[in-house]
Chains A and B, each alone.
Chain A
Amino acid sequence: MRPLSEPKDIARLQQRAAEAGLGSISEKVLAGQRLSSDDALALYATPDYLLVGMLANHVRERMHGDLTYFNVNQHINYTNVCNKLCRFCAFQRLPKQEGAYVFTPEQVAQKITEQLGEPVTEVHMVAGIYPKLPYEYYLDILRAVKSARPEIHIKAFTMIELMQIARRAKKPLEEVLPELIEAGLDSCPGGGAEIFADRVQKEGYHLKNTGQQWLDTTRKVHAAGLRSNCTMLHGHIETQAERVDHLVRLRELQDETGGLQCYIPLSFHPANTEWSHLPGPTALDELREIAIGRLMLDNVPHIKAYWIMLSIPVAQLALSFGADDVDGTVVEEKIYHEAGATTPQGVARQEIENWITEAGRIPVERDTLYSVIWSGNEELAPVGSAAPVLG
């Protein structure tokens, strides 16, 4: 472990933590020890947002220094038809409802072809659960992407989609995954984890997978040799204890498999959902969530401030609150924009580099598996190498 802060700075951090009654947590963080569930609850309870940020920032700088990752990616939401009726979702449509759509494999290929002029390295492909889609469809869209752009990395299918694909294939997922990989699947995204607690699942998305199913499916993904990410949808009906439970279960899974690359706290956006009466999280709630994620998930290398959802100001400030990744340039995001996200879609790469730099960080373009593609500092993060994780 490389000491990044001078002792006096550390002393000040500890003093502030002691004033907030969080002295023992601060000591653990500085010593690189694991935090308990109670520690996480105390971090949720303190009014000293800056302190939580400083603790998370300490860990972030120990692991990544000033390096901050982004990628150049494209989103394809291949259908918005879904039978899960999650109450937090503004994206889903019933099959015959106005606005319902399903892309054919040709249309998927078309979307990829449209971006051939852009240096896109990843396609992020997730969608609703449309039971009529046959197993072959999923293989076909993977093949369609790869035939249109062979070198692109396909990060596709959340756990509920994988469960659905296995159901349609009438085969166990363990047998399906190699076939998906053969067709072009390279890794899996982390969405759809929501909140693991059964109470919340029953009340908010009872037709969707349970928390346990999400974890079991992710375990199978990792066993098949794929990397994936993880998320938590916060700011709706869940309690702080349920958030802590969620984080601890993610941490346990990661201890077991080591396959999670990145944790992304997702903010509930209430507009156009069944929960539109809820206020949704404020900016400080979002920053605290980033920070607690960094502090609790000591075994997950990266914490992402997904700017599409957070807005640029919050994503930029999150770089001082524990985040070391901001996601990508994102062409055509639909899910959060149906729920009222107002971020400009497709932010020019120059703009992302600019706001990372003005936050006092070093922009680094990565691919999906965190290899360096372009570096704002060749010495610290050489192009072609794996993103260095230090402490």
Chain B
Amino acid sequence: MIAPSEPRRPHGWQAPRASQGRREYSADLDKLEERVLAGTRISAEEALFLHEHADLLTLGRMADSVRRRLHPDNRVTYIVDRNINPTNVCLTDCGFCAFYRPPGHPEAYVLSRDEIYRKVQETVDLGGQQLLMQGGHHPHLLSDWWCELISDICERFDINCHALSAPEIDHFSVMEKRPLKDVISDLKEAGLGSVPGAGAEILVERVRKLIAPKKTTTDRWLEVHQRVHEAGLRSSATMMYGNLETPADRVEHLIRLRDLQDTTGGFTAFASWNTQPDGVPEEHLYPEKTTPAVYLRVQAISRIVLDNIVNLQTSYVTQGTKLAQVSLHYGANDFGGTMIEENVVSAAGCFNLESIPGLEAQISGAGFSPRQRNSWYGLINPAKDEPTGPTCREEAATHRAAPAGWISPSPSNSL
């Protein structure tokens, strides 16, 4: 027997015993399932009850029924995209991050324009739809640098810049002493097409103070997304669980997202993954990695709670293709992106990438029809009678006058 190198402390959370939970809480679970099947919203207390007492198959069945209601078409989407991290310089010193380097560190880097263009060209050659561009909180690369980068790319290539994150945008606003609205407006002007949901971690202050004390607060994270939506851009939402949060914190995180979505309708999708603590700076702070069963539990509960966020993305890059495939029957309807490269979680020893045929084989193997999408969940090359969905940020916007004939996406609209 090979012992693990460093025994970590356990989570201290006990999964409900499957058959016992189903017996003991049968009546309550059934009432909840009834409501979920009917499309009725569940409360935070009810979500926590599910987290603590429902077994995986029951959760899967409930999440799958929500997925079927929102996506009756049996499609599973994915996007051909590339991850580019223009810089790894960051001021926030998050203890769970193995990617960043402080300013002046010998391994700190900023990619040259030529190198970025080469990466973009490779992506475009593959039929790529999206550049997922995120950096650290660099002290000098602020909104003007990013605006220039984005507009340079937009001038040269036909590809969407799905870039930055709420904490980075907040960082610009703070460093430049300008309101969020102005920063976002400049980025949009430069060509920013959509904003990823990164940096949410756990949207509960008690937890953020422990794991990311220098990073954007919960309220501010949500405010940035609200301003992004109001500016006519769509964004996605995420959660990184399995660190120092409790099940109630996970639920609170989901409810905060749901509340904002009720206001703006601007989130396209939600994705979650577990903390990857291997080799991170504050490794000692983190409990052992949660297991795949917890991933499906969290994902299924997210699908049930987030009734107003249409798409749920599985994270095959962190969870591996096997688990990602299974997760399509636990609420997910999107396989994420091809990414081509990944630098952040792979710095913590977690790295799974899949080719386009490989992704499609996993999706078809799960009984779904694989479809490429753009950043706004519109379909690329749709079949004849298929609705395409939005083809650009203007068509996807929830807060701008839409072009004639385009029905603005609402929580009940499945594309």
Find A9's partner among B4, B22, B325, B361 (CB 8 Å cutoff). Answer: B22
| Cα–Cα distance between A61 and B57 once the two chains are bound (Å) | 12
From A21-29, A214-222, A247-255, A308-316, give the one contacting chain B: A308-316
Q: Are B366 and A49 in contact (CB under 8 A)?
A: yes
Contacts of B215 in A (CB 8 A): none
Q: Which residues of A contact B19 (CB under 8 A)?
A: 4-5, 61, 65-66
Residue A99 at the chain B interface, CB threshold 8 Å = no
Which A residues touch B18, using CB under 8 A?
61, 66, 320, 359-361
Q: Most chain-B Cβ atoms within 10 A of its Cβ — which of A47, A284, A317?
A: A317
- Complex Cα distance, B18 from A361, in Å, reads 6
In the complex, the answer to whether B57 meets A346 with C-beta atoms within 8 Å is: no
Cα distance, A12 to B29, chains bound together (Å): 12
Known: A320-B55, A348-B3. A279 touches B292 (CB 8 A): no
B294 at the interface (CB under 8 A from A): yes
Which chain B residues lie closer than 8 Å to A320 at the CB level?
A: 18, 55-57, 60
* A279–B322 touching, CB < 8 Å: no
**Which chain A residues numbered 320 to 353 have a C-beta less than 8 Å away from chain B?**
320, 329, 331, 344-351
Q: Does B103 contact A (CB under 8 A)?
A: no
Minimum CB–CB distance from A120 to chain B (whole Å) comes to 8
Interface status of B179 (Cβ within 8 A of chain A): no
**What is the distance, in angstroms, from B379's C-beta to the closest C-beta of chain A?**
21
B15, B291, B294, B323 pick with most chain A CB within 10 angstroms = B291
Q: Are A47 and B61 in contact (CB under 8 A)?
A: no
Within B252-308, the residues touching A (CB, 8 Å) are 288, 290-294, 296
Contact-residue bracket for chain B: 35 or more
* Contact across chains for A316 and B293 when beta carbons are under 8 A apart: yes
Find out whether the CB atom of A360 lies under 8 angstroms from the CB atom of B361: no
Asked whether, in the complex, the Cβ of A49 is within 8 Å of the Cβ of B20, the reply is no
* Interface membership of B105, Cβ < 8 A: no
Q: A321 → chain B, closest Cβ, in Å? A: 9
CB-CB under 8 A from A125, the residues of chain B are: none
Q: Which residues of B contact A357 (CB under 8 A)?
A: 14-15
Contact (A360, B293) CB under 8 Å given A49-B329, A54-B57, A284-B326: yes
Please report the total number of A residues contacting B with Cβ < 8 Å.
49
Report which of B15, B320, B366 forms a contact with A358, defined as CB distance below 8 A: B15
Residues of B within 8 A of A184 (CB): none
Give bound CA distance, A172 to B231, whole Å.
84
In the complex, A145 has a CB within 8 A of chain B: no
The reply to whether B4 and A311 contact each other, CB–CB distance below 8 Å, is no
Select the residue from A57, A357, A359, A361 with max chain B CB neighbours within 10 A.
Answer: A359
Contacts of A349 in B (CB 8 A): 1
Q: Decide yes or no: A287 and B326 within 8 Å by CB, A4-B23, A320-B55, A320-B56 being known contacts.
A: yes
In the bound assembly, the distance between CA atoms of A65 and B33 in angstroms comes to: 23
For the complex, would chain B's binding face be called helix, strand, loop or mixed by DSSP majority? helix
B362 at the interface (CB under 8 A from A): yes
Is A9 within 8 A of B17, CB to CB? Answer: no
Residues of A within 8 A of B61 (CB): 12, 16, 50, 54
Chain A residues near B4 (CB, 8 Å)? 348, 350-351
| Distance between Cα atoms of A346 and B4 in the complex (Å) | 10
Q: Which residues of A contact B2 (CB under 8 A)?
A: 344-348
Instruction: Report the nearest B residue to A377, measured CB to CB.
Output: B17
What chain A residues lie within 8 Å of B296 (beta carbons)? 317
Residues of chain A with a CB closer than 8 A to B55's CB: 320, 360
Interface contact A283-B325, CB-CB below 8 Å:
yes
Q: Does B43 contact A (CB under 8 A)?
A: no
Given contacts A283-B325, A360-B293, A362-B17, A118 and B1 within 8 Å (CB-CB): yes
- B21 at interface, CB cutoff 8 A: yes
Q: Mark A47-88, 1 if CB is under 8 A from B, else 0.
A: 101100110010001000110000010000000000000000
With CB as the reference atom, state the residue of chain B lying closest to A4.
Answer: B19
Given A6-B23, A316-B292, A359-B293, A50 contacting B1 (CB threshold 8 A)? no
B127 beta carbon closer than 8 Å to chain A: no
With A72-B1, A312-B292 known to touch, is A50 a contact of B362 (CB < 8 Å)? no
The answer to whether B322 and A282 touch across the interface, beta carbons within 8 angstroms, is yes
Complex formed: what's the CA distance from A53 to B60 in Å? 11
Please, what's the 1-or-0 string for A285-319, where 1 marks a CB less than 8 Å from any CB in chain B?
Answer: 10100000000000000000000000111101100
The CB with the most chain A CB atoms within 10 A, among B58, B293, B294, is that of B293
Closest chain A residue, CB of each to CB of B362: A282
Q: Point out the residues of chain B lying under 8 angstroms from A331, CB to CB.
A: 1
Chain B, residue nearest A57 (CB)? B57
CA distance A351 to B292 in the complex (A): 13
CA distance A313 to B58 in the complex (A): 18
A354 at the interface (CB under 8 A from B): yes
B27 at the interface (CB under 8 A from A): yes
Which of A50, A312, A348 has the most B CB atoms < 10 Å from its CB? A50
Tell me if B39 counts as interface (CB < 8 A to partner A): no
Complex Cα gap A55–B28 (Å): 22
- Residue numbers in A under 8 Å from B329 (CB-CB): 49-50, 284
- Chain A nearest CB: distance from B262 CB in Å? 30
Residues from chain A with a CB closer than 8 A to the CB of B387 are: none
Interface status of A8 (Cβ within 8 A of chain B): yes
Considering only residues 22-43 of chain B, those with a C-beta below 8 Å from chain A are: 22-23, 26-27, 29-30, 33
Q: Judge if B365 is at the interface, Cβ distance under 8 Å.
A: yes
Q: Does A355 sit at the interface, judged by CB under 8 A?
A: yes
Interface residue B64 (Cβ < 8 Å from any Cβ of A): yes
User: In chain A, residues 1-52, which have Cβ atoms closer than 8 Å to a Cβ of chain B?
Assistant: 4-6, 8-9, 12, 16, 47, 49-50
Please report the C-alpha to C-alpha distance between residue A284 and residue B323 in the assembled complex, in whole angstroms: 9
Query: Does residue B411 face the partner (Cβ distance < 8 Å to A)?
Result: no
**Are A282's CB and B366's CB within 8 A?**
yes
Provide the bound-state CA to CA distance between A47 and B366, in Å: 8
- Contact B56–A360 (Cβ < 8 Å): yes
B10 contacts partner chain A, Cβ-Cβ < 8 Å: yes
Report yes or no: A346 in contact with B1, Cβ–Cβ below 8 A: yes
Q: Can you give 27 A-B contacts (C-beta < 8 A)?
A: A5-B26, A6-B22, A6-B26, A9-B58, A12-B30, A12-B61, A16-B61, A49-B367, A50-B329, A54-B61, A61-B19, A66-B17, A282-B325, A282-B361, A282-B366, A284-B366, A285-B365, A313-B322, A313-B323, A317-B326, A345-B2, A347-B1, A354-B291, A359-B293, A360-B15, A360-B55, A361-B17
Q: A12-B30, A282-B365 are in contact. List 8 more A-B contacts (CB 8 A).
A: A5-B22, A6-B23, A61-B19, A279-B361, A283-B325, A285-B365, A313-B291, A313-B319
B interface residues, Cβ below 8 angstroms from A = 1-4, 7, 10, 14-23, 26-27, 29-30, 33, 55-58, 60-61, 64, 288, 290-294, 296, 319-323, 325-326, 329, 361-362, 365-367
